[in-house]
Chains A and B, each alone.
Chain A
């Protein structure tokens, strides 16, 4: 049985501190703007530039980060005035959410804006401003209680304690419901108490997730199973990170045997260029165990030909510094050679449970040496 490295008291203290720093940060920004106005000046602030030229790979952190260049946002610039105001509103709105511990989705934000006569042309405009707020405060939106709609799920012997209003102190074991538990705001903000699991298995697809639960992979391999639902959402990545950091669990990743699967694993491991303004979303020690391109030959899996865009994606990734060595490099090359790909379901060729009976144990074994 693993317990959280931190005591329950420490956890709630830490959570409160975190909330307080977020509120302080928002307050500081607000105060600066207030001061500017009071002094008869157009308010301004600087924001790390998110332009392609300012996104660099940090080898030490093993993720993409923003470089040093910043952009000045000024209310004097009439072209920026509107987005400036939108950002101010968002900070104001996030401040309320955080204080009241209410959560909202990206879509909620888009609609809430209308109550304040702040027009967003569409949701992508408001999403963009949310990224701005993340960049200014260097905090993920989830810290401001803003969550995406997409849900992934979790299953396994893990006890958690809720912190959201109305559920504070309630505990839950995440192996009680075989469909799994969706990773939403309440789970993301819950405290992780203890677990008997010794590993986290992140799997790309819901179908396989269900199979794994059915086949009791959680028990057989003492694991927590997480369905990333394709590219893992941020809340899922945060949870993965916490399971790794707080509970000391290793993380392995199983994806389809194609270039997109390979990249899903990479994003969990070291983040995406899109979120270069954020840290604490990566699990650098996570291991991608399959399905590799070499597995396709090794297991003689049924394949489908790669599409034009699959091939193009391979070449694109070859330019990414993270794909310059190790299995990342090797598997890309094999994909390009084979020009074919295989899905996780392909193992069904050898029987429905082949993947959990044969393939998974082999890979778990292999993971130890990776």
Chain B
């Protein structure tokens, strides 16, 4: 199995997205420049993450004609040190919409198989220039493509393809697009900056059109453990998805060509020998256990056809009519369609039935879904009103809908597996916050995995106070699957939860200098739009966010009251420093002395005050209060 060679799936055409490009974040030159940067940077980081490579990403934006006023054409280039893409996949990956390798169930930044192509498409529409992709996946040869997109046909048009010797793996994408850097610059710089907080193991550089260079070196040397690909959870599935899974699970009748026959011979150990039909059958019976499925199907067909390899070579299977126990084939020699009866008692008949009608429901459930055991599968079948051995290939449309509904409703499935998630981890998160804000107080928490509609998710959150943080907080840094979310924060669930918090309750008052970093990880972030800017408020996610924030807020409250005490001590010290000398002055004259008493000792003995967070501070863990 190659988890490394990503499986490319093409799932649907493009016109819809061309006319709905606003949804994907390409509404105007400002937003589009920003979105294009995001799409390519995120692809680069995804590619490195998946291969466990410490990412080095170089982002460059250059004005084609610097003297022109904005909006104007820019050349945007993003270069990475990732695995690159196999040359033959490049035109598809970058030249078609909804073509991606990330549909499998695991956490990634990319989700839709859309981002890169939309950016390229936008560039092409506004400047009529091709995308230039350079990729090397073997550190020897670099393939360079210039591609234009045929929007109607959702097809790439390769304008130029050259190769070149190189010594490093990696991919670089370069597009020319209409943008407005004077307006988008802030957001882009923020994006790069915030990305480096949530991707502390990446080195990101940005050369901006004004000649400024932003360098964010990695400050964590280990990549967080990569997520594993897992099967879907029954709650997170819909009719379309089941239909596709059934198609995949139904075994095709193998084409019986030379290659196939050669394979059967080899597996039976008969490469050189020409045995009779019955001798072949005897041999097959002996070896049955070790034979692959396809070979078994061929043997089963031969058993009814009563043919040896030579005869088999001259026919083509036309149809297997299981209910009527008939097998149709085309005889090349006689140019005739022929029929043979199949004996239903034969073990070979069963083999063919399996193949044609697909697996039984219970097998389908246990094999294709996570967290479903045989007992649960049988229980579910009863719940949904299916026979456990119901063949998946025989489901009517109605039954399919019923199955899908029942999968949603059945409550005895275990919670989704979260091994497909890759949160950053408390330690790197804390390290990042401390490095970025040099705060007086920091706390982080990673909530245990939870799930919404069958999709697992994890909430990570950090809170920091004081230090270099600007007042006027809380400033909220929102992340989802390691992507900073900078736009549309008004409608975001995280903002909602933060706004619902009564900070006075946590001793945070006035114009406080504090920040909240929120990171939601999921195989499916419930974004409100394909532009990936704000997260919808799913009840389960909202709950986890609340619990995380409450936990951190309580820690902050503990710090604040300590700090309050320290500030009081400081105020007291100031009072002493002000009044004790006065008292000394007055009592000296009263007592009729010449010299003032030595009161310095009193002031020096006052305890020094420190309002920084103490390292070993044990914060009491309280039971979370839930306010729904």
Contact = CB atoms under 8 A, between A and B. Distances in A.
Nearest to B571: A78
A89 B582 contact: yes
Interface in B598-625: 598-599, 601-602, 605
Contact of B591 (A31, A78, A84, A116): A31
Given A29-B590, A89-B586, A92-B589, A40 B602 contact: yes
Interface in A184-239: none
Given A75-B579, A117-B582, A88 B587 contact: yes
A117 B586 CA distance: 12
A82 B590 contact: no
A346 interface: no
Contact of B602 (A37, A89, A91): A37
Nearest to A29: B590
Interface string A283-314: 00000000000000000000000000000000
Interface string B43-61: 0000000000000000000
B582 to A, nearest CB: 5
Contacts of A75: 579-580, 583
A92 B590 contact: yes
Interface in A75-130: 75, 78, 81-82, 84-85, 88-89, 91-92, 95, 116-118
Contact of B605 (A30, A34, A40, A85): A40
Of residues A40, A41, A84, A91, which shows the largest number of chain B Cβ atoms within 10 Å of its Cβ?
A: A40
A78 B602 CA distance: 14
B369 to A, nearest CB: 68
A92 B586 contact: yes
Contact of A27 (B575, B579, B592): B592
A37 B587 CA distance: 10
Contacts of A85: 579, 582-583, 586
Contacts of A42: 602
A34 B605 CA distance: 18
A38 interface: yes
B584 interface: yes
A15 interface: no
Interface in A4-47: 26-27, 29-31, 33-35, 37-38, 40-43
Nearest to B582: A85
A82 B574 CA distance: 12
B589 to A, nearest CB: 6
B582 A34 contact: no
Nearest to B590: A30
Contacts of A27: 590-592
B588 to A, nearest CB: 6
Interface centre among B579, B583, B599, B601 (most CB of A within 10 A): B583
Contacts of B467: none
Given A37-B583, A92-B586, A78 B597 contact: no
Contact of B576 (A33, A81, A95): A81
Contact of B575 (A41, A81, A88): A81
A92 to B, nearest CB: 4
A35 B590 CA distance: 12
Contacts of A95: 589-590
B579 A30 contact: no
A88 B572 contact: no
B110 to A, nearest CB: 60
Query: What's the dominant secondary structure at chain A's contact region?
Result: helix
B579 A34 contact: no
Contacts of B598: 37-38, 40
Chain A contact-residue range equals 20 to 34
A34 B602 contact: no
A78 B576 contact: yes
B289 interface: no
Contacts of B584: 34, 37
Contacts of A41: 602
A112 to B, nearest CB: 13
B593 interface: yes
A30 B584 CA distance: 9
A78 to B, nearest CB: 4
Contact of A34 (B571, B572, B597, B601): B597
Contacts of B602: 37, 40-42
Contact of A30 (B580, B589, B599, B601): B589
B587 A33 contact: yes
B250 to A, nearest CB: 83
Contacts of B591: 27, 30-31, 33-34
Contacts of A37: 580, 583-584, 587, 597-599, 602
Contacts of B580: 37, 75
A78 B576 CA distance: 8
A47 to B, nearest CB: 16
Contacts of A117: 582
A42 B602 CA distance: 7
Contacts of B590: 26-27, 29-31, 33-34, 88, 91-92, 95
A85 B575 CA distance: 11
Interface of A: 26-27, 29-31, 33-35, 37-38, 40-43, 75, 78, 81-82, 84-85, 88-89, 91-92, 95, 116-118
9 contacts: A30-B592, A33-B590, A35-B597, A40-B602, A40-B605, A43-B583, A75-B579, A88-B587, A117-B582
Interface of B: 571-572, 575-576, 579-580, 582-584, 586-593, 597-599, 601-602, 605
Given A34-B590, A37-B587, 20 more contacts: A27-B590, A30-B591, A31-B592, A33-B583, A33-B587, A34-B593, A34-B597, A37-B580, A37-B583, A40-B602, A40-B605, A75-B579, A75-B580, A82-B575, A88-B583, A88-B590, A89-B586, A92-B590, A95-B590, A116-B582
9 nearest CB pairs, A to B:
A30-B590, A37-B597, A40-B601, A92-B586, A30-B591, A38-B597, A33-B587, A31-B591, A34-B591
